[in-house]
Each structure stands twice: as structure tokens, then as C-alpha cells.
Amino acid sequence: GDSVTQMEGPVTLSEEAFLTINCTYTATGYPSLFWYVQYPGEGLQLLLKATKADDKGSNKGFEATYRKETTSFHLEKGSVQVSDSAVYFCALISSGSARQLTFGSGTQLTVLP
Amino acid sequence: EAGVVQSPRYKIIEKKQPVAFWCNPISGHNTLYWYLQNLGQGPELLIRYENEEAVDDSQLPKDRFSAERLKGVDSTLKIQPAELGDSAVYLCASSPDGTGAYEQYFGPGTRLTVT
């Protein structure tokens, strides 16, 4: 079945540091890939997405590139801010799953001033 | 535009008691989802509705869980009786249409504690 593996957290960075959160997946067909973010006390928000190989999703300074050859969708940001502190979830919808999101276990990010 | 609304935000009950969660999706969204999120894990789908029809309830524990979406708008998820292991966050999400709808919009969740 479909699965998503994220790097384990928690991750603690200083403000303005470079961020990478690794995500790899296993899925049938050609999945669509997503990053969701969950701020404390809030629901999940879609951060970015990519629907086909080599697509780059980007939003709020975050980027992730759909790499089919390595089945990866790593999240990056060049300079993190304290306000980026949250839990980040990698997720996919495979072509055969009819809109069922499969999530990774989440990575807690804390950015210190 | 209002987001997905859930209530209550927090609920504490004793085991063997019933509990219900309510969700109002974004206006015009035909597809509604209920997810279970255990601590330190990603959400897992419980049930998906297209309008008032439950089109995927394969992961809903039907011995104690039930859900309804009578008029194809808001939805209720019920647990009866609750067990200690049901302590988790219950998330509701909605998406705009029934085909190729990749973006799901999540509510804030209901945090259930069973004592």
C-alpha cells in the first residue's frame, strides 16, 4: 500500500538557518504530493503541492521538488523564521486512491530567535 | 470565506460514555472527510462522504463508531461507547468537488480525552 516516510524530529534551528525536511514515498502509479503545516492549536493547512514529476511546489518561501527517480519530495526553506515553528506533514494521493490522503508521521520544527 | 468549523474543540469523557463531534464544511464543498490523528502521528482517514453518501468507510470501526451527513452539508461523528484508546484528535476536512479534488481544507479538530 501507499506510505510516506518523513525524517524524524524534532528539528530545532536558529532563525535564518536553512531548513530541509526529508520525505520519501511508496505509491502505485503517479501520486500527487503535498506538504501540510499544522501550527499549534490549529488544523492542517496546505503549504504546497506538486502533481507530476519534476514539478516544484512553492509557497511562503518553502519549496519542494517532485523527484520520481528517488521517490522523494523534500521540503526546503532558505531562511526560517520563528513563525515557521510548527509540525510539517508530507502526504500523497496516489492515482488509484480516489482522493485519500496518506500522511507521514510529521516533523516538529522549532525555530529559536 | 469561513473555514471548516468543528465543535467542540475539546472534550473529556469517562470510558464507556458516548460522545459526538460536529463538523460544518466550507460552503459548497461536496466532499467531507473525518480523520483520526493520534499523538505524534499523521491523520488517518475514517470516512469520506460525497454529498450525503458515505463512499469510503472501510477504516471506520463500525462496532462503536458511526457517522452521518443527512443533508449533504454538516456531519456528525459519534463514538459509543468510548474506550481509553479513542483519545486522539478528530479532524474534519472538506474539498470542493467529487472528482480530482486534491486540496483538502481542514478544521481545527476536536481533542478527545477518555479517562
Residue A1 touches partner B, C-beta closer than 8 Å: no
Q: Which of A46, A111, A45, A27 is nearest to A77 (CA)?
A: A111
3-state secondary structure of A88: strand
Q: DSSP label at A38?
A: E
For B9-37, what is each residue's pLDDT tens digit? 999 999 999 999 999 999 989 899 999 99
Which helix or strand (DSSP H or E) is residue A103 part of?
strand A102-103
Closest residue in B to A43 (Cα) is B108
A100 to chain B: which residues are within 8 Å by CB?
A: 45, 48, 56
For A46-80, what is each residue's pLDDT tens digit? 999 998 899 999 999 999 999 999 999 999 999 99
From the list B31, B40, B105, which residue is nearest A99 (CB)?
A: B31
Any idea what the Cα angle at residue B4 is, between residues B31 and B37, rounded to 5°? 85
**Do A25 and A54 meet the contact criterion of CB atoms below 8 Å apart?**
no
Please answer yes or no on whether B91 and A89 come within 8 Å at the CB atom: no
**Do A105 and A42 meet the contact criterion of CB atoms below 8 Å apart?**
no
For B37-81, what is each residue's pLDDT tens digit? 998 889 999 999 988 999 889 899 999 999 999 888 999 999 999
Strand pairing category for A11-14 and A107-112: parallel
Query: What are the phi and psi torsion angles at B7 (to 5°)?
Result: -150, 150
